Each structure stands twice: as C-alpha cells, then as structure tokens.
Structure 1
Amino acid sequence: MSQEELKAGIERALARTGRGQSDNLKRLTGGATMESWRFEAEGEAFVLRRAPSLAFMDGRPFGHESEAAIIRSAHAAGVTAPEVLTVLEAKDGIGSGFIMRALPGTPDPRAILAMEQPDRILGEVARDLARIHSIGRADLPADVPVMDYAEGVESLRLQFEEAGGDRPIIALGLRWLADNVPAAVEPVLNHGDYRLGNILCEDSHLTGVLDWELAHFGDPHEDLAFGCMPVWRFARYDRPALGLGSLEDYFAAYEAESGRKVDPARFRFWSVYRTVWWALGCIRMADFWRRGEDRMLERVVISRRTSEQELDLLMLLEEDAPEEERAKPVRFEPSEFHHGKGEATLSELLQAINEWLGSMKGKVEGHDKFQLAVARNALGMAIREEAELPGHFESKSVAREITSGERSLQTPGMLGWLRHSALEKLSVDVPKYPALAAARKSWTGEE
C-alpha cells in the first residue's frame, strides 16, 4: 500500500473524530508484528497502529477493536497507556488497526537504560503493572481470553512439532514445563508483552505502555517474568529486572502497589514458559515470510534469534542437572573464517555486500535506515554460517527422546552437548548477545 493510499485512509478515519488533513506521515522503526505510523493533524501528533495484512490477524484471540477497548480501560485505570481516538473501519480502506494520540518519550531500550535514574523508572514500571493487574473483567471485552496453564504448554508443544520438532533445548524446556505446571491462581489481566521496547520513557520517567495485542487473563507472575528475560534487558544483562535494577527492588515495588506477594517458584515457571514461547515465536517469523503473509526482512532475521532463547533456556534449566555435570567445562572455540587465494569465496562476496551497505548508512533515514541495519545483520549471519556451522544443534531424534523422558539433564554428557550446541549456534546468529559472554565464562571458564 502506498503512503498516499495510507494517508487517504487515515483522513477518512480522522473525519470521525472531527479532524481533517494529516501531514508528515512516517513509518516508525521496530515492531515485530504490527506496523506503527506517526503523523500530525491540526497541530497534534498521532500514531496509527495497523496489521501488515488482514491475513495477519487470522487466528488471533481478538481484533483491534478489542485491543483498543483494553487500552481505553487501562488509560482509565491510571496506567500510562495512550488515548485511543478511533478504530479503523472497512470503509477506511487501510486494513485493521486504530489511531491513538502520540505520547512523549522514547521506546529505545538503550536510551532508556542510559537514563540517570533507572531505579525510578523501575518503580513506575512496577506501579503500572500492578494497576494493569487490578483491571476487572467487567471493564473489558468478553473475548479477552483466560489462560489455562496446561493448555498453554500443550499449545507450545504443538507449535514445536509444526516447526519440525528438532531442537533438543526447546524439547527440554517443554518437558520441564509439562512436569512443573503450577496450580491455578485467581486470574488477573496480563498485558502479555510488558518489557523494554513496549514502554516509553523520558527524563527517567515512564510515559507510556504500548502494544496490548497479547493481553489475556492469567497468573500475574507471567507479566513479571516476561520483562525480566535476558533478551529484554538488552545491554544490561547485569540488571535482572528489565535491565533497570534488581529483582528484589522490582518485586518490593510491585508488592507494595498490588498487595500481592511474589512467589519465586511461579516466577521461574513463567520465565521458562515465556522463553520457550518466544523461541517458538521467533521460529514462526520465518514461516510468515515463507507463506508470503509478510515479506519484511525483519521476519527472517528475527527467526534466527531463536538461538538466543535456547541459550537462555538452558541457563534457566541447568540447575536441575547433577553437580558433576554442571562442573564439567565445555571446550569451545568460535569458528574461524577461511579465505582462499583465488577467486572470492561466498563469505567474501557477502562481506563485500555488507561493507557496501554500510557505506549507504548516511543516505537513508526512518524505517529504511532500520531496514538497512537489519539487512547488514542478516548478511553477518550468512557470512558466519558459511564459514562453518556443523548443524548438530538440530536433532529430531534427540528432541523426541527428551520429550519422551528417555534422555534428560540427568543423562551423562547431555548438558555438555547442549551447552556446546547453544554456544555454537548463537556465536553465528547473534555473537554480541550479552548472555553469550556470560554463558561462555560460566561454561568454558574463559573470560
């Protein structure tokens, strides 16, 4: 869809709010699933959130109309959620979505983590999460789902099988989840994606909570755990609570606002659950691209971030392995590039393209600049994989034996094999992932 068509559709939607012409339409960077477009109308700034295609909405528990209603309820409950103006209609001609008032602040995790008072942000994040968890069912659409924990684990298992069922570490996580499903608690509204990247901050204050498409009723520990996953801490692996501070401070602030006590065992269960969930979510991105639902470059690159979650998952689960297995160091050396003396090798051709794209960095802006960075990441993955990646991190037979209980972390040598494969794959996919350095130090004894 052209920007002219999008602008015309926005103005048809804006007419329902008594506003007219829109200006300065610009695609915002980021967004693993939905598109976000910022624009101005009559001196005010707004954001359009829309699906990349109508097919992209298939299979979701609720649509944008319900998502907008959830955001409105959160806004009314004192959450720093945006004000929704209008939901797109078929006659607008630009698909499924809604328009909301733009909020101040940046969503850039690294900019947020560099702010002067991360502890203050963490307290405000805990406050808003407690307020989200206080919103009652009567204030929300009827189609907001209630999560059944065992059904959730089974759904993950089915997704794993559909994706090939050949990743032993994910199989290990699924087996652990099936064996450790906790008893149900009184369900609360979960944001479902509460983390850095989906919040706005300015001057060490929380200014917005975005992206409510995964909202559901369930265990409050799920929301607490998801934002604390290593992948969402970005450069601050050393700060386990959203990259902003300690778990102790986060839990204390949440408990003071909500009146609920945080249970470490439930927190661990949901940490494992959401790590498996996001690993499978990353894999699915490649399927969206293959089926043509969304041919954006981000899809295939995000799919390779599965290896981040596999390493994180193994670090979560390895405490269940025997002490003698945990104490065995892993012998691991990153692959070396092999360059010939004759015509250019494949890795050299890819490197040449990567360097040329780097020279274009100052010549593009907005979403194209973001896409350029993603393209260079994709080429980096291809260069490293072409150098040497044996591929034994994929094994359907081992995955099945883990799922069936024939093998586990109690099996001699299993932990070492999984550690080596996790290091090998992530060194190719995302060698700058902060947890990789921590894992290498822990598992190999190297600094």
Structure 2
Amino acid sequence: MSTATDVTELAARVRAQLADHHPDEPFGDLRTLPGGHSGLTYAITAGTTSYVVKAVPPGQRPIGRNDVLRQARVLRVLAGSPVPVPRVAAVDEREPAWFAMEFMAGEAVEPVLDEHRLIPDLCRTRMLALAGVLRDLHDTKAETYEAQASEPPLDPAGELERWTRTMRAVPLELRPGGEELLDSLASRVPSDVPPVLTHGDFRLGNVLCRGERPTAVVDWEIWGVGDPRIDLAWFLLFADHRNFPQLGRPVPGLPGETELLAAYLDGRPEPPALDWFRALARTKMAAIMGHNLRRHREGKHHDPDQERLPPTIAAMIRTARDIVAPRP
C-alpha cells in the first residue's frame, strides 16, 4: 500500500518529467483513481491537460500486472495505428517505475454485466464498432511486438495449460464438471495459426467510448503475441447475457455471437476450430470466477457478492462441454 510519503515523492517525479510539456503551467495534486487492477493508478492535471499515471507499488517488482513499463511499450508502438489508444507522455524507469498517458474522456460499459442507462441501440452500435477495432488489432504485424512482449507467442496448448492450472486451484465442489471439460479440451487442441498482437481481455468494459465511437482501448496489463482466436472468443462471450445466470442483464437488440463474428470477419473466412476457443473462453471465465469465490470463502478477500457466482460457473462449464464435445 502506498503511503503519503510515497505519493509525495511520486508526484514530484511526475511533475518534473511533464514540466517540459507545460512551461509555467500549474500542476494539480496527484490523486488516486479507484478501480485499477494493476499497479497503482493516479490522475494529475497540468494546466488544462489531464493525465493518468500508472506506477509500480513501492517495494514491489515490476513483473506481471505490475509491469507498467510493458504497458507503456505497447501503447507507444500502437500510437498512430488504427487501434485507438491513449498517448504516452512520459516514462520513468527508475524504481518505482511509472508512466503517464493522456486522459481520454469516455465511458467503459459492459452492457450485459454493468449497471447502466445506455439505450440498447447505442450498446449495439458500440459492440459492432468494437468488432472492427479487434480486427484492426489482429491485422497488425506480430513481429513488430514480439520483442516488446518479452515472452514467446502463446499457442492454444499454452493457453489451455495456463487455465487448467487456474481451474485446478479451485475446489472441485465449486467447479462441477470441470475435470471432464479440461479432459475434452486437452484431447482436441487445435493447430496453431500465425500469431498476432492480442489484448488479453478485449471487451467493451475495457474500451472507452464517446457516443457511438470507441476512443481508446485501455487495460493492457496482459497483452501479448499469440493466437487471435483467444481474443475473439473472449469478446464473443460478452454478447449474450444468458451466458451469465443471475449476473447478466438482457439488452434488446445487442448483436449475438453470430452477428458479432460476421462484423469481425468482414467477409473473411471463419478461422478454424473457433468452437474450441469458445469453449476455452468459458473455461477461463469459470476458472476466474471460481478463484475469486474461493478467495472470498477462505477469507482472503471478503466480498459477499461473490456468492452470486456459482450458477454462472456451472453454466460456463456445462455450455463449454456442450460446445467442445456435443452430445449425440
């Protein structure tokens, strides 16, 4: 946890780095932004310009989700591409490392999960527009990013191995049918396709929009170079509230998986073995929710709202099994 001293020191470093961009302009205080899932997230103003600052927590190593410099690298490489991202204004690699990016106005709403008052037609338009953004992301040349990613491309077998470990860390009673699902996936691992740049958690909840237009893809903590079907299947999962029993909310007119896939493909052929990845996306969601529920029940992170998850976990596993190994 950051202290007042830590924040004061960080604020001085941020102001010093940004001063050249704002001569004779006053700086505001460095304010903590809630809701971040990686590192520490702050806001600061310089004159009339606003910035978001992401920093490694004091005393922690810049690895995994705390590797904010890795996030800054992909944002800088994507600058000027068809994929909208915030502009990186400053990077400081000294410990604790941080970077500052321009503040982008907009709202990030996951229509089938978040509380919101958006009209259904707007949700529909945004989701279809976002399919095109994902296509643009996957059209980028992977070799441009492999050196930035600092790890080898992730293939289907590697992705399954990762989520198998996560799933098996969840008690059996919280993941009914999970072992049978993992066995089915393991027996049907598809062949690789050429790797692309992947976001890792691509969905409307991680994209700022203004009106109908996506203005910035954010939350690049787990970006990588890997199979485009991983991103695509995850994006499709959020098209239907029925995938999330007791959690999801109906949004009339929202594009279903078939229409959303067509918008992404834009006339191109469907990638092979996509159903395997659709099942894997559900496996991933069940594993994440099972992990969060386990932590709550063990007292590691008290959150009674996690008790709403069991029906969705069971549904994710059940539908994934049906997708990957349909019953005759």
TM range (shorter): 0.7 to 0.9
For residue 31 of structure 2, the aligned residue among 26, 29, 34 is: 26
User: Which segment is superposed worse, 226-235 or 19-28?
Assistant: 226-235
Compute the displacement of 1:47 (Å): 0.8
For residue 144 of structure 2, the aligned residue among 139, 144, 150 is: 139
Residues 61 and 144 in structure 1, CA contact (< 8 A), matched pair in contact too: no
Counterpart of 1:348? none
Residues 46 and 99 in structure 1, CA contact (< 8 A), matched pair in contact too: yes
What CA distance in whole angstroms lies between the structure 1 residues aligned with 2:304 and 2:276?
32
Mapping for residues 165-184 of structure 1, pairs under 5 Å: 167-169=174-176, 170-184=178-192
Residues 175 and 286 in structure 2, CA contact (< 8 A), matched pair in contact too: no
For residue 189 of structure 1, the aligned residue among 189, 197, 201 is: 197
Counterpart of 1:100? 101
Evaluate the alpha carbon distance shift between residue 306 and residue 45 of structure 1 in structure 2; reply closer, same or farther with a 3 A threshold.
same
What CA distance in whole angstroms lies between the structure 2 residues aligned with 1:308 and 1:31?
27
For residue 152 of structure 1, the aligned residue among 152, 159, 168 is: 159
SS state at 1:85 partner: strand
Counterpart of 1:121? 126
For residue 246 of structure 1, the aligned residue among 240, 246, 256 is: 256
Evaluate the alpha carbon distance shift between residue 35 and residue 198 of structure 1 in structure 2; reply closer, same or farther with a 3 A threshold.
farther
What CA distance in whole angstroms lies between the structure 1 residues aligned with 2:239 and 2:257?
16
Unmatched 5+ residue regions in structure 2?
Answer: none
For residue 314 of structure 1, the aligned residue among 301, 314, 317 is: 317
Counterpart of 1:16? 17
Residues 236 and 261 in structure 2, CA contact (< 8 A), matched pair in contact too: no
Residues 282 and 316 in structure 2, CA contact (< 8 A), matched pair in contact too: yes
User: Which segment is superposed worse, 3-12 or 300-309?
Assistant: 300-309
For this pair of structures, how many residues does the alignment match? Answer: 309
Q: 1:91-118 CA deviation, whole Å, 9 max, x = no partner?
A: 5xxx344211011111243448536422
Mapping for residues 321-336 of structure 1, pairs under 5 Å: none
Compute the displacement of 1:19 (Å): 4.7
Counterpart of 2:76? 72
What CA distance in whole angstroms lies between the structure 2 residues aligned with 1:176 and 1:301?
33
Evaluate the alpha carbon distance shift between residue 74 and residue 123 of structure 1 in structure 2; reply closer, same or farther with a 3 A threshold.
farther
Compute the displacement of 1:236 (Å): 5.8
Q: 1:197-224 CA deviation, whole Å, 9 max, x = no partner?
A: 2111122221211011111222212112
What CA distance in whole angstroms lies between the structure 1 residues aligned with 2:249 and 2:149?
39
Mapping for residues 391-406 of structure 1, pairs under 5 Å: none
Residues 275 and 309 in structure 1, CA contact (< 8 A), matched pair in contact too: no
Q: 1:270-326 CA deviation, whole Å, 9 max, x = no partner?
A: 323432442355358669984xxxxxx6x7568657535513323413635758xxx
What CA distance in whole angstroms lies between the structure 2 residues aligned with 1:54 and 1:174?
38
Residues 166 and 287 in structure 2, CA contact (< 8 A), matched pair in contact too: no
Unmatched 5+ residue regions in structure 1?
Answer: 291-296, 324-447
| Aligned-pair Cα RMSD in Å | 3.6
SS state at 2:79 partner: helix
Evaluate the alpha carbon distance shift between residue 87 and residue 114 of structure 1 in structure 2; reply closer, same or farther with a 3 A threshold.
farther
Mapping for residues 282-361 of structure 1, pairs under 5 Å: 282=292, 290=300, 307=310, 309-317=312-320, 319=322
Compute the displacement of 1:52 (Å): 4.6
User: Which segment is superposed worse, 270-279 or 128-137?
Assistant: 270-279
Quick one: which amino acid aligns to residue 47 of structure 2?
E
Counterpart of 1:42? 47
Counterpart of 2:288? 278
Compute the displacement of 1:70 (Å): 0.8
Quick one: which amino acid aligns to residue 282 of structure 2?
V
Evaluate the alpha carbon distance shift between residue 25 and residue 280 of structure 1 in structure 2; reply closer, same or farther with a 3 A threshold.
same
Compute the displacement of 1:79 (Å): 1.0
SS state at 1:23 partner: coil
What CA distance in whole angstroms lies between the structure 1 residues aligned with 2:203 and 2:295?
20
SS state at 1:45 partner: strand
Mapping for residues 366-385 of structure 1, pairs under 5 Å: none
| Larger Rg computed on CA atoms | 1
Compute the displacement of 1:48 (Å): 1.4
User: Which segment is superposed worse, 305-314 or 191-200?
Assistant: 305-314
For residue 270 of structure 2, the aligned residue among 220, 236, 261 is: 261
Evaluate the alpha carbon distance shift between residue 280 and residue 151 of structure 1 in structure 2; reply closer, same or farther with a 3 A threshold.
farther
Compute the displacement of 1:9 (Å): 0.9
Residues 194 and 227 in structure 1, CA contact (< 8 A), matched pair in contact too: yes
Quick one: which amino acid aligns to residue 310 of structure 1?
I
SS state at 1:90 partner: coil
For residue 226 of structure 2, the aligned residue among 206, 218, 221 is: 218
Counterpart of 1:332? none
